[in-house]
Amino acid sequence: MSNNEVMKKLRVALSLRDDDIVEILKLANFRTTKTELSAIFRSEDHPNYVQCKDQLLRNFLNGLVIHLRGPMPPKTPKPERKENS
């Protein structure tokens, strides 16, 4: 299964529009446009078809986690353990 097929299936399964995908990618600090996305969702025989790169899929999945779960809480430093003497 190609990255393009994964993106298409996720878009349908989650009922996402192109605007939603652009916003999800922004959550992962990845900028793209609706025009660039439309090339990914075209059929392979279309002249404007573009193969979805690993970086785009990875950032989409990272942004999707943030979108669904919310941002990670800031890490708090662990308190130092006192040794018994």
Q: Exposed/middle/buried for 60, CB within 10 Å: 0-12, 13-18, 19+? A: buried
- Domain of 19 in residue numbering reads as 3-69
Structure tokens at 19: 């605007």
Task: For residue 9, tell me if it sits in a domain.
Answer: yes
Distance between CA atoms of 12 and 2, rounded to whole angstroms? 16
Whole-model pTM: value is 0.79
Task: For residue 85, tell me if it sits in a domain.
Answer: no
Number of domains present in the structure of the chain: 1
Give 31-78 pLDDT, tens digit per residue: 999 999 999 999 999 999 999 999 999 999 999 999 988 877 777 777
Task: For residue 23, tell me if it sits in a domain.
Answer: yes
